[in-house]
A and B are shown apart, each in its own frame.
Chain A
Amino acid sequence: MSVDKTIRHVKALATGIKYLVSSKRMTLMYPDEIEEFPDGYRGMIKYNWDTCIKCGLCAMVCPADAMKMYISKEESEEGKKPVRRPGINYARCVFCGFCVAICPTNSLKFTKVHDVVYNTLEEQVYPPEKFREGVPKPQYKKKPKKMRAILDEERGLRYEPVE
């Protein structure tokens, strides 16, 4: 065994011990602490029923076939001709944001909600009537602490509480 190799072994062990005794941790304790997201975060999408002009561009541009045009029953019966409105399937959505970008009237907008649990695949499909009701509100057992991720040169990722 060369001396150089031995020194490297000792250095590796010393680094391990250094981290073992330091109290640094990167974990975000998720249900108790949640991350505050920056503006422009691509979470679940909310839909404005009134400003939508039913152009169908969002369904056309969707790369994952998540956004589709559904026949809106009530409106179709009123106008005696089929009226189509967008609905979304979160089981397919990749949150790319093409639909939000292409919407000519800004009827589709991103929210910061992303942590919702579904029991079945069918619940993840939002036809227009359900889509207009907005995104579900995340529910936590107790009020979570809001944290912000900070990139630290010394130790990488760090979470700081938001006042």
Chain B
Amino acid sequence: MQDLLSFLISLLFRPCIFIPLIFPGLTVIFIMLLMIIWLERKIAAKVQLRYGPLYVFKPLGGVIQTVADLLKDLFQEPIIPKTVDKIAFLLTPIMLFGLAYLPTVVIPVSPTFYAFRSDLSLLLLLTLTTLAPIFTVLMGWASNNKFSLIGGLREGYLVISYEIPMFLSALSMAVLYGSLDLVDIAEAQKGIWGLFLNPVAGISMLVLIYMSTGKFPFEIPEAESEIVAGAYTEYSGIMYGLVMGASYVKLYVLSLVYAILFLGGWNPLPASMMDNPLLPGAMLFAKAFILIAIGVFLRAVYPRFRIDQAMNIGWKMALPFSILAIFISLGIVTITGGM
């Protein structure tokens, strides 16, 4: 019995199981989702001089309100309208959530603890994150509803305007460190973090992360006051929970990538603490969580941009800035002879 238990625990701590299932995988994603939605409502309430969720477990400020919401969503009847394309309608939430969650397997937790190491892991990760928007567009089409269609098209417009500059900003860091391997990139930031070496790339990537995950002021594809819930209009119950969760999961994954690219990943922990995956993992998670918290704080401050304003930011500002970031990286590499 004892042997079996210790075997199971050692199995759990194997990277190929720990990373997809615990951190940064499913378990932490689930807890993060519940926490961040509560935090979003609480922050928005605080800025607007209200209390926010309060009565579900009052001593901690209603922190399990989202659990109650989840239970409500689970027991709600999922309504499938008659005129939708059934297969696409039912499969897209699962594909969206799955594709948002999939890139976590590439993310390393410490220099020696990773499920999957490749020379091209950054490229692989960015590629996986770009698949999800296709399903948002498909969802808008499958729902057979004008609001869904408009929401899906808006997502399509946004994707083409944020994707290229975001890739360029991320790849400028690969140029700077001479590697596409996330472990190498994080290890190269032992001394000085990427954000301070190349702040242009850092700021443009941060803005584009919020743009790609539909945070304010870029909450255009699901503009509540204009097109009900955008591509998600026809969804109800737990399917709505999945599609809403998908954008938060995407934000979480991109924040982890941002933490590795620009905020030094698990640095500045000393090398002696790297044996156990928990400490570097906690460090990485803390950095990503702060980024997510900033993202949800923006909701309380900004109104929504028009679609053309957001596209202007993508093409006319972020694209030149990210090209500039590549040249900054090239300049640093030329001067110092590589990091």
Contacts and interface: CB of A to CB of B under 8 A. Distances in A.
Interface stretch (A24-32, A68-76, A137-145): A24-32
Contact of B47 (A1, A20, A26, A155): A20
Given A1-B317, A20-B43, A25 B297 contact: no
Contact of A12 (B43, B51, B301): B301
A27 B47 contact: no
A16 interface: yes
Contacts of A19: 46-49, 300
B302 interface: yes
A20 B50 contact: no
Given A1-B317, A20-B43, A15 B301 contact: yes
B300 A16 contact: yes
Contacts of A25: 49-51
Interface residues of B, number: 12
Contacts of B48: 19
Chain A: interface size category: 10 to 19
B297 A16 contact: yes
A50 to B, nearest CB: 46
A113 to B, nearest CB: 25
B226 to A, nearest CB: 22
A27 B50 contact: yes
A5 to B, nearest CB: 10
Contacts of B43: 20
Most buried by A among B297, B301, B317: B301
Contacts of B297: 16, 20
Interface in B305-336: 317
B13 to A, nearest CB: 38
A161 B47 CA distance: 24
A82 to B, nearest CB: 53
Contacts of A3: none
Interface string B279-303: 0000000000000000001001110
Contacts of A27: 49-51
B50 A26 contact: yes
Given A12-B301, A13-B301, A20 B46 contact: yes
A25 B47 CA distance: 9
Nearest to A16: B301
A150 to B, nearest CB: 15
Nearest to B294: A13
A16 B301 CA distance: 6
A112 to B, nearest CB: 26
Interface string A19-57: 110001111010000000000000000000000000000
A24 B49 contact: yes
Nearest to B49: A26
Interface centre among A16, A24, A26 (most CB of B within 10 A): A16
A125 B300 CA distance: 44
Contacts of A1: 317
B302 A12 contact: yes
A101 B200 CA distance: 70
- Candidate in B46, B48, B50, B302 with the most chain A CB atoms within 10 angstroms: B46
- Among B43, B47, B297, B300, max chain A CB count under 10 A is at B47
Interface string A73-107: 00000000000000000000000000000000000
Contacts of B300: 16, 19-20
Interface string B28-54: 000000000000000100111111000
26 contacts: A12-B302, A15-B301, A16-B47, A16-B297, A16-B300, A16-B301, A19-B46, A19-B47, A19-B48, A19-B49, A19-B300, A20-B43, A20-B46, A20-B47, A20-B297, A20-B300, A25-B49, A25-B50, A26-B49, A26-B50, A27-B49, A27-B50, A27-B51, A29-B51, A155-B49, A156-B49
Given A19-B47, A156-B49, 5 more contacts: A1-B317, A12-B301, A15-B301, A19-B49, A20-B47
